[in-house]
Amino acid sequence: MSDLRLGYPFRGMVVFAAMLALALLLMILPVSSGLAWTIAAGVVLVTLVAVVLSTLQRNRAREQSAHVLAALGATAADLPLSLRTRMPLVLVTGDSLPELFDRGGDEERLVHVGDGAIWLRINNPRDLPQVGVAVKQWRDGRAPDGVALSIAPALHASEDALTQALRVARQAVSDASRMLGMRLPGYIAIYQRLTASPTTATATATDPPWYGVSSASMLTDASKEVLLGGALKGVSLRGTQPFEAVMRAAEAQVQQAGRDPVPAARAAGLASVIGWTQRIVIGSLADRQQPAAPWDLWGIGWIDCGPASDPCSPWARDVHAHSRIMPPSMDASPEPWPLPQPLIEAMPRQRWVSPRLAAFAHAIALLACAGALAIWGAAKNNQALLTRIGADLDRFTMIPADRDTARRDALQALVADRDQIDRYARLGVPPRLSFGMYRGAALMPVLNDAIASYQAPSPLPFVVTLDSMSLFDSGKAQLRPGSTRAMVGALEMIKARPDKRILVAGHSDNVGSADSNLKLSIGRAGAVRDWLVEASGIPVTQFAIQGYGDTRPIAGNHTDAGRAKNRRVEITLVPDAPKEVPLRDASKEGS
């Protein structure tokens, strides 16, 4: 509830923070897509709940505080906003509020502007939380400066009834502090007739003075200020009790009054009412066994003014119980009674910042946090990009050249990386890599060099092996009639690839001399070439023949089967005539 600031654009700030969070999640932060959308849905749900609850609370607070705002507007309409926020505003609750506020008129007054403060009347202490929120709205986001509790002991039938009323007020102040998000300074004003001397409503020298203590901090601190005769007089209370200093101030007045009996009677009554206040009032408000937080007491004062007093009042019975002296009956003081202005002279001034300025500062802080997160997320994303591309480069480099399928897969990854970097260069870097963290442009030359270094392996040549025994007679190099049917498959292969060069190589077994076997293999290769040239129509310049004799056996020559395999003619289609495989026509070489 501490965030319920009626002058503060709470809903706008919630929506603004949610939009920043969604932008970071979905565009920048290094989280998986599924997790990002899950968190984004949660952010949207929380935002909607917060906006709805804030709207309901705002509307309810406006309804509950409408009469207070109307009274404030009617009474303090002439006050400018700057004075509204700088002038102390005190909520007054407790006893005898009509005597304090209804100054000579029949109409009930809720607000009194004057005496150095704006005094707001709270008839029911339970209304303090709602009224505090209304005041904060009326003052453009500044909470009340304090709560003054008016206590007239003569109006209570017993100490138990007074104690119960004090507990109600204490709980109300605790609830108001929680709703406003701050501890409200508390002030106690005791209105009790101490003497039978007449008082008037006019500000004369005979007006009863205020006695008490007030401070710019809680009364548990060492330095206090004593109130005397309506004026503040600084007194150091180190090592002494503050109420003892009050009594010394009253006794000093007795000495100054000479033979006047009123100050002496007032000092005697003041001593008894101070003791009664300590036991009954302060004890109830500071008792830590109660559920509500103890009241932060910053000032307490007593004045010889109040309702009619008789021997049945709680204070009178307390005096009789402790001194065996019964105070006489006294008439009520003339109205209006003075508001406890001297009590708030030392009131601390709140540090107040305009809600709009606070919202602007909070928006700047949110933007700064979002910017820091964006830079961090972009740095992480760029590191992930560099790591991934580096891994792709390492994988491509480590794959041996003979594993061409794996190298081609690695090459495709490099091409995709290069295309991604190129796309960023042409269309712009995405937000998740921006904010000055992008380093991908430096990888483009490295990727281009790696891609250009790839060389596809030479394709394997197409080879057709012909059995020489099915084409030639033993020791002959002329094709036998009908043997061309064995070369139909080779002819079809050559016609299907007319752009390839054709190598016709002859081989023999090791029977006979090496020279004769070499000449025989060359002759047989030439015979096959001539037939293929005639049958295919391919220029003879695209053919080459080679004789190897018995130098390249494919089986052992010690068996008939092995020698039969070695007697062969191989027709090979050579792709693109690579330089490392020179083709030479053996028919043009000497034997």
Mean pLDDT of 381-390: 93
* Cis peptide preceding 294, ω within 30 of 0: no
Clarify whether residues 164 and 288 are in a common domain.
yes
What the block records as the tokens of 206 is: 């005979």
Sign of CA dihedral 174, 180, 185, 186: negative
Residue 233 reports pLDDT greater than 50: no
What is the b/e burial string over 3-39, where b = at least 16 CB atoms within 10 angstroms of the residue's CB? ebbbbbbbbebbebbbebbbebbbebbebeeeebeeb
User: Which DSSP state fits 144?
Assistant: P
Clarify whether residues 323 and 363 are in a common domain.
no
Domain presence at residue 285: yes
Highest mean pLDDT among 108-122, 199-213, 217-231, 298-312: 298-312
Query: Could you give the CA distance from residue 55 to residue 116 in angstroms, rounded to a whole number?
Result: 36
Clarify whether residues 165 and 242 are in a common domain.
yes
Clarify whether residues 243 and 293 are in a common domain.
yes
User: How many domains does the chain fold into?
Assistant: 4
Query: Could you give the CA distance from residue 431 to residue 419 in angstroms, rounded to a whole number?
Result: 18
Clarify whether residues 442 and 474 are in a common domain.
no
What is the b/e burial string over 404-440, where b = at least 16 CB atoms within 10 angstroms of the residue's CB? eeebeebbebbeebbeebeebeeeebebbbbbebbeb
User: Which DSSP state fits 215?
Assistant: -
pLDDT at 76: 63
pLDDT at 580: 38
Could you tell me the pLDDT band of residue 460, with boundaries at 50, 70 and 90?
low
Query: Could you give the CA distance from residue 267 to residue 556 in angstroms, rounded to a whole number?
Result: 140
pLDDT at 465: 84
User: Which DSSP state fits 514?
Assistant: H
Highest mean pLDDT among 44-48, 64-68, 127-131, 508-512: 44-48
Query: Could you give the CA distance from residue 457 to residue 171 in angstroms, rounded to a whole number?
Result: 89
Could you tell me the pLDDT band of residue 446, with boundaries at 50, 70 and 90?
very high
Question: What average pLDDT is seen over the chain?
Answer: 81
pLDDT at 350: 66
- Count of alpha carbons within 13 angstroms of residue 425, beta-carbon side: 12
User: Which DSSP state fits 496?
Assistant: H
Clarify whether residues 245 and 340 are in a common domain.
yes
Domain presence at residue 80: no
Residue 492 reports pLDDT greater than 50: yes
Own/partner long-range contacts of 411-414 (Cβ < 8 Å, ≥24 apart): 411/451, 411/454, 414/447, 414/450, 414/451
Query: Could you give the CA distance from residue 459 to residue 441 in angstroms, rounded to a whole number?
Result: 36
Query: Which domain does 256 fall in, by range?
Result: 86-352
Mean pLDDT of 112-126: 85
Residue 132 reports pLDDT greater than 70: yes
Query: Could you give the CA distance from residue 368 to residue 524 in angstroms, rounded to a whole number?
Result: 88
Poorest-confidence range of 35-39, 48-52, 141-145, 195-199? 195-199
Residue 67 reports pLDDT greater than 80: no
pLDDT at 390: 93
Q: How many CB atoms lie within 10 A of CB 507?
A: 26
Mean pLDDT of 511-538: 89
Non-local (6+) Cβ contacts of 242 within 8 A are 213, 219, 224, 226
pTM: 0.57
Clarify whether residues 405 and 494 are in a common domain.
no
pLDDT at 208: 78
Non-local (6+) Cβ contacts of 39 within 8 A are 25, 31
Percent of the chain with pLDDT over 90: 26
Domain presence at residue 543: yes
Clarify whether residues 7 and 152 are in a common domain.
no
